[in-house]
C-alpha cells in the first residue's frame, strides 16, 4: 500500500484516487513540452474532497525542476503570435489596475515574450525560466541580456531580493509540485501594493466536464488542476487574496485552431491539407482570432493586508 496522500493545497488527507496513470514509462523532459498535444495522457491523479484540487502523484513530482531544466521545445516558437497577443492583453488589463507599475517579473518566462512586451510598455522586466534551452533561444532570438532572462526558478539569488510591481505566472502554477510555496515565493517578490497575475486552466469549467479525459489541459506537464475555489484557498494560504478573477482570452491563428480540432475530429485534417495546397485559403489560415474558451482563469492577486504588514 502506498503512503497516505495529502492535498498539496490544504493538507487534508481526504484525497481520493481520481484517474489512473496513462504513461507506461518514466517521465522524460520531452513529455513536458508546452507544445505537447497528447491530450488526456497524465500521471496518476488524486482529488481532494475538501478543496477540490486535483494533483498528480508519483516519484517524478520531486524531480520536476530538473526535468524542466533539460526541456527542449523546438516548436515552442510556433505559438509565438498566440502567446504574444495574450500577453499584450494581460499586461493591458494589469496596468489598468496598477497604472503606476514600473517593474515586472515573469516566472516561467519561456523565451521571454512577456519581458519583451513589458519592455515595450517601458517597464523594467525580468524573466525567469528553468529550461536552459528556452533561455538560450530567448536570449539569442529576442536580444535579451543574461540579467533580463535568468535560468532558474524562484526564489533566485540573481534577483538580489528585488521586489516587483507586477509578478506574472502565466500557465505555470499547474506545472509546479508545491503551489502554495510557489505562491508564497511569488508574494515575497511582490512589492506592497503590487499585483500578482496568475493564469491557469479551470478544471471545473464546462469544457473540462464535457471533454472529460480528453480535455486538452489533461497532459503530463500539468501536475496540479485548479478551479476558482482551490485557487482562492491556495492564495489565502500564501498570504494573497483575489482582487479580480476573469476568464482568459486566447488569440489563435485559424490554422492552429484547425489543427487542434483535427485532434478531436480527424476528417478536419483532410480539410487542413486541402487548405495548405491553396495559397489564398492559407492566408486566411494565418489570420488570428480572439477566443474565449471559458476553461482558463486569470487571477489578479494582491498581498493580504494582515500579512503585508508583517
Ligand atoms: Zn485540498
* Burial of 22 (C-beta count, 10 Å sphere; 0-12/13-18/19+): middle
Arch. (CATH architecture) of 76-249+292-308: 3-Layer(aba) Sandwich (3.40)
Q: Are 18 and 47 in contact (CB under 8 A)?
A: yes
Distance in angstroms (rounded) separating the CA atoms of residues 271 and 258: 9
Among the listed residues 43, 47, 48, 41, the one whose alpha carbon sits nearest the alpha carbon of residue 64: 43
Instruction: Count the neighbouring beta carbons within 10 Å of the beta carbon of residue 211.
Output: 17
pTM of structure = 0.87
What does the block give as the cell for 255?
Answer: 490554422
Q: Find the 13 Cα to ligand 1 centroid distance in Å.
A: 8
Distance from the CA of 41 to the center of ligand 1, in angstroms? 23
Q: C-alpha cell of 105?
A: 517579473
221 with 125: CB under 8 angstroms? Answer: no
pLDDT by residue for the chain (310 residues), tens only, comes to 457 889 999 999 999 999 999 888 888 888 888 777 788 888 899 999 999 999 999 888 888 888 888 888 777 777 788 889 999 999 999 999 999 999 999 999 999 999 999 999 999 999 999 999 999 999 999 999 999 999 999 999 999 889 999 999 999 999 999 999 999 999 999 999 999 999 999 999 999 999 888 888 998 889 999 999 999 999 999 999 999 999 998 787 777 777 777 777 787 777 777 777 776 667 666 777 777 778 999 999 999 865 444 4
Cα 229 to middle of ligand 1, angstroms: 10
Give the cell for residue 308. 503585508
Ligand 1 centroid, distance to 9 Cα (angstroms): 5
Amino acid at each position: 500500500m502506498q503512503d497516505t496522500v495529502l492535498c498539496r493545497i490544504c493538507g487534508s488527507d481526504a484525497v481520493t484516487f481520481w484517474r489512473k496513470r496513462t504513461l507506461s514509462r518514466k517521465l522524460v523532459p520531452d513529455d513536458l513540452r508546452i507544445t505537447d498535444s497528447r491530450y488526456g495522457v497524465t500521471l496518476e491523479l488524486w482529488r481532494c474532497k475538501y478543496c477540490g484540487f486535483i494533483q498528480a502523484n508519483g516519484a517524478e513530482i520531486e524531480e520536476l525542476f530538473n526535468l524542466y531544466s533539460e526541456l527542449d521545445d523546438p516548436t515552442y516558437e510556433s505559438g509565438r503570435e498566440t502567446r504574444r497577443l495574450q500577453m499584450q492583453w494581460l499586461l493591458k488589463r494589469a496596468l489598468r489596475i496598477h497604472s503606476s507599475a514600473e517593474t515586472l517579473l515573469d516566472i516561467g518566462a519561456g523565451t521571454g515574450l512577456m519581458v519583451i512586451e513589458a519592455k515595450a510598455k517601458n517597464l523594467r522586466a525580468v524573466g525567469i525560466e528553468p529550461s536552459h534551452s528556452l533561455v538560450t533561444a530567448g536570449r539569442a532570438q529576442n536580444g535579451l541580456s543574461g540579467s533580463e532572462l535568468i535560468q532558474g526558478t524562484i526564489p533566485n539569488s540573481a534577483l538580489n531580493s528585488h521586489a516587483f510591481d507586477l509578478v506574472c505566472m502565466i500557465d505555470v502554477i499547474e506545472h509546479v509540485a508545491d503551489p502554495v510555496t510557489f505562491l508564497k515565493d511569488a508574494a515575497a517578490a511582490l512589492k506592497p501594493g503590487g499585483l500578482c497575475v496568475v493564469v491557469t486552466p479551470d478544471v471545473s469549467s464546462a469544457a473540462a466536464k464535457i471533454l472529460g479525459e480528453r480535455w486538452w489541459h489533461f497532459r503530463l506537464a500539468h501536475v496540479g488542476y485548479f478551479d476558482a475555489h482551490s485557487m482562492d484557498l491556495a492564495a489565502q494560504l500564501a498570504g494573497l487574496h483575489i482582487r479580480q478573477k476573469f476568464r482568459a482570452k486566447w488569440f489563435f491563428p485559424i490554422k492552429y485552431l484547425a489543427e487542434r480540432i483535427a485532434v478531436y475530429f480527424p476528417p478536419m485534417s483532410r480539410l487542413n491539407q486541402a487548405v495548405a495546397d491553396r495559397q489564398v485559403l492559407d492566408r486566411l489560415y494565418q489570420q488570428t482570432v480572439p477566443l474565449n474558451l471559458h476553461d482558463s482563469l486569470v487571477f489578479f492577486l494582491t498581498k493580504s493586508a494582515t500579512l503585508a504588514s508583517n
